[in-house]
Structure 1
């Protein structure tokens, strides 16, 4: 069967840059899925994506489905023939539907009976017959939230479509998608090759586009940009802070990247660098330059989509565009400095946090009080945390943050320094937003950690307290992110704080505002429920997490220590045997009525194996008890692992349910003591 390489391309108007990569991957995956469902064999698959095209290149694609025999079972022989052996109406009707007579049917026999059988040879369909529908279905599956129409067509897509190409080797496959018939015409670069070209063979696609000033491969285009930016930065004696998201967006904006640099007035450097960077990146997609100390330089690098004979004109144009934006930031900064940060609190009284929970000013007062309590629990200076908590949200009322919301916290820090609040307070104002996203850094100061915890707790407790629990994907107050932030700060710092105590402190701060009587329990449960996804992201096995959480611990730092220790224990040679033994012990004890027997009487230990287990358990407990008290769970579990042989010998040679009631209860007490020794750390019986 012939195999050729296939090219599918959709030529469009400029696609949304932030969605381009996802669209490309989704299109490629959907096409491949369609080919697999059609049972068309193929080799490697390569997606292409530029601002003006989505394409998929598939190697060694079969020209036709393989022929196959389809078996259709009919009625059983008992039903197909009457007592005289003549075909019944059921058999004749089935045979007619298959285009045969009853006597032409074959028989299918098994130990369950015998049935009529029809075998039909089905000839495979060709790629030309199958492909148009596969592509049409793939386009329907793309994640397009707001499709649009264009011209007088009824077709809908994320952007207007101009060309459509299905090329199998050098053969053009007929088909229509989004109102456009398949043709060989391929769009070139909008400015350098506006006439486009006719593609003669699928294998020529990438090379022909390059000749038309288009780098079709997204990854190649991105690497070319990254390398050129790094080289230009080095020439300018500066560096570019890594920003994968910006690099990806810029890659999605250009087909023929040309890297240039420009400058702006040094006067703007009197403004904190953060708003300047925000406006350069977010508004203009520029790459700001910093020196080796992280200080902003009055230069930036940008990527253009045209190779100009007079690059100075492009540079001058970008400098003209950026100057008023930087001037705005300078104006906001100078205006904001005329008012102390503390004076902004009265403005926050008019900014709503949540209708039932009050204003942002109310929230600041709660954060301040709660941060002070948390700092005291951390045995650090509460006055710094209290002050930073009060001012934590004050910069929301400034002109700078109103214009550049991304700078909240960092501008509060700068304004606090300007006001002479002290570095500890200023840093805590910035740090209280940390961590902002998965993998982000944590607060480094005690006050910063206290205010960060207070802010997250206030939001969690407040929203749960009015019954607005997150459901499904809806989480408008980002409570899941807040919960993981809590866990990370307490566990990774680490801090000797109990989650239940913190939640109760936060609950007390709301007074009579909250209507949910179960707020504390629900918030504790919600935060602990985030342990599973958080630890799974770190590669921790689910059964390890379940084993630790089974006893409902509420100190995140302690939970973390237990998880690390149990995860290490799980890899020991003895772990499987000990987990099985714990399950057996748990099952035995679960069947007992009333209180479990507690005391082991050495005089009632009869069998050598139970005596040895009791002696070794006592010796191990002398190590385990102080180790658990010190939080050294790895040492405790390694000590308990030494019991494996004794436990195995006990179960191999000792009957727990002895006829003698006293001996039976004594053995149950021994097992209970063994179980409790492990439960000090985790429920090992849950390990798989």
Structure 2
């Protein structure tokens, strides 16, 4: 079967910004690890995140597992054959389990003993079937500094999960997690386009959310924030101070960033610069100019 892109979106209430970088890193790493563990080949794993969604995109995920050979170890020679060299029930049972005759089995030395063994060819299962179990497991492996419980199954997640979207190409993978069944619907910006959006395939997902006020790519949001902040300050012949740590936090506080130049009474300038900057950055998440 032909390879297709896989898209998983975990939609939730707003996740704390400080949880997001680590969550996305885990999502990328654990997705790759699980796919390899299940013998599914792919081109790349990309992750995206906003306050309301964790997204993983697997590029060119194979349509089925890689066919492989697996060596099966059976009983030792002493157990498999009697004193006259005739196969015992242990040998006959091992051969029958593999659909072979005893004479078709091999003897392999391991340490000081010989064991019956056979090489079994394992054909690949279809990816869509594997994903039904793999994806809930993937979400369960994610860990965060703090979690919440919000429904009967006692699911653990930083904030309540409100929807799941999962598309393998244009095929929905309807796995269940946290009392929800994955489908083809996402949500736009909470205020600009709050309604449900039906998605046809992974490429359509990114286009649809952009049209609905959501910039899914955190790197793109980061660049937008820098450009808009610098431009707003430059418009008044000012220079903005963009702290990298604050920028990363703000990236995960917004889905559609805009910059507004604000002011405060000049009397506050009597305070030390460090006090003003710390207050703006740490308490208000503002970029000082």
TM-score norm. by structure 1 comes to 0.40
Alpha carbons 1:72, 1:118 under 8 Å: kept = yes
Within 2, Cα distance between the matches of 1:115 and 1:279?
A: 72
Give the 3-state SS of the residue equivalent to 2:150 in structure 1.
coil
Alpha carbons 2:215, 2:256 under 8 Å: kept = yes
Alpha carbons 2:42, 2:60 under 8 Å: kept = yes
Within 2, Cα distance between the matches of 1:41 and 1:48?
A: 21
CA deviation digits over 1:533-582, x for unaligned, max 9? Answer: xxxxxxxxxxxxxxxxxxxxxxxxxxxxxxxxxxxxxxxxxxxxxxxxxx
> What is the CA-CA distance between 1:101 and the residue it aligns to?
4.5
CA deviation digits over 1:612-665, x for unaligned, max 9? Answer: xxxxxxxxxxxxxxxxxxxxxxxxxxxxxxxxxxxxxxxxxxxxxxxxxxxxxx
> What is the CA-CA distance between 1:172 and the residue it aligns to?
0.6
Give the 3-state SS of the residue equivalent to 2:7 in structure 1.
strand
* Residues 605-620 of structure 1 mapped to structure 2, 5 A cutoff: none
Give the 3-state SS of the residue equivalent to 1:36 in structure 2.
helix
The 1:102–1:48 alpha-carbon spacing in structure 2 relative to 1, beyond 3 Å, is same
Alpha carbons 1:169, 1:203 under 8 Å: kept = no
- 1:66 counterpart residue number: 66
- 2:26 counterpart residue number: 26
- 1:203 counterpart residue number: 203
1:107 maps onto 2:106 in alignment: yes
> What is the CA-CA distance between 1:99 and the residue it aligns to?
4.8
The 1:110–1:152 alpha-carbon spacing in structure 2 relative to 1, beyond 3 Å, is closer
Alpha carbons 2:31, 2:45 under 8 Å: kept = no
The 1:102–1:181 alpha-carbon spacing in structure 2 relative to 1, beyond 3 Å, is same
- 2:252 counterpart residue number: 252
> What is the CA-CA distance between 1:265 and the residue it aligns to?
1.1
Within 1, Cα distance between the matches of 2:245 and 2:282?
A: 11
> What is the CA-CA distance between 1:78 and the residue it aligns to?
5.8
Alpha carbons 2:19, 2:145 under 8 Å: kept = no
- 1:385 counterpart residue number: none
- 2:84 counterpart residue number: 84
- 1:137 counterpart residue number: 137
> What is the CA-CA distance between 1:49 and the residue it aligns to?
0.3
Within 1, Cα distance between the matches of 2:236 and 2:137?
A: 50
> What is the CA-CA distance between 1:110 and the residue it aligns to?
6.8
- 2:10 counterpart residue number: 10
Alpha carbons 2:9, 2:166 under 8 Å: kept = yes
Give the 3-state SS of the residue equivalent to 1:225 in structure 2.
helix
1:188 maps onto 2:191 in alignment: no
The 1:288–1:76 alpha-carbon spacing in structure 2 relative to 1, beyond 3 Å, is closer
Structure with larger Rg: 1
- 1:229 counterpart residue number: 229
Alpha carbons 2:151, 2:178 under 8 Å: kept = no
Give the 3-state SS of the residue equivalent to 1:29 in structure 2.
helix
Give the 3-state SS of the residue equivalent to 2:191 in structure 1.
coil
> What is the CA-CA distance between 1:57 and the residue it aligns to?
0.7
What is the root-mean-square deviation of aligned Cα atoms in Å?
A: 2.2
CA deviation digits over 1:25-61, x for unaligned, max 9? Answer: 1112111111111110001221110011000111110
1:48 maps onto 2:43 in alignment: no
- 1:118 counterpart residue number: 118
* Residues 344-423 of structure 1 mapped to structure 2, 5 A cutoff: none
The 1:76–1:283 alpha-carbon spacing in structure 2 relative to 1, beyond 3 Å, is closer
Query: Whose helix fraction is larger, Structure 1's or Structure 2's?
Result: 1
* Residues 541-556 of structure 1 mapped to structure 2, 5 A cutoff: none
> What is the CA-CA distance between 1:98 and the residue it aligns to?
3.7
Alpha carbons 2:242, 2:287 under 8 Å: kept = no
CA deviation digits over 1:132-153, x for unaligned, max 9? Answer: 3322232223232321122555
Q: Where do 5+ consecutive residues of structure 1 fail to align?
A: 290-688
Query: Whose strand fraction is larger, Structure 1's or Structure 2's?
Result: 2
* Residues 291-306 of structure 1 mapped to structure 2, 5 A cutoff: none
Give the 3-state SS of the residue equivalent to 2:260 in structure 1.
strand
Alpha carbons 1:164, 1:182 under 8 Å: kept = yes
Give the 3-state SS of the residue equivalent to 1:65 in structure 2.
coil
Alpha carbons 1:175, 1:182 under 8 Å: kept = yes
CA deviation digits over 1:419-470, x for unaligned, max 9? Answer: xxxxxxxxxxxxxxxxxxxxxxxxxxxxxxxxxxxxxxxxxxxxxxxxxxxx
The 1:265–1:97 alpha-carbon spacing in structure 2 relative to 1, beyond 3 Å, is same
> What is the CA-CA distance between 1:195 and the residue it aligns to?
0.5
Alpha carbons 1:71, 1:118 under 8 Å: kept = yes
Give the 3-state SS of the residue equivalent to 2:29 in structure 1.
helix
Q: Where do 5+ consecutive residues of structure 2 fail to align?
A: none
> What is the CA-CA distance between 1:79 and the residue it aligns to?
4.9
TM-score norm. by structure 2 comes to 0.91
* Residues 264-279 of structure 1 mapped to structure 2, 5 A cutoff: 264-279=264-279
Alpha carbons 1:3, 1:63 under 8 Å: kept = yes
CA deviation digits over 1:665-685, x for unaligned, max 9? Answer: xxxxxxxxxxxxxxxxxxxxx
Alpha carbons 2:76, 2:114 under 8 Å: kept = yes
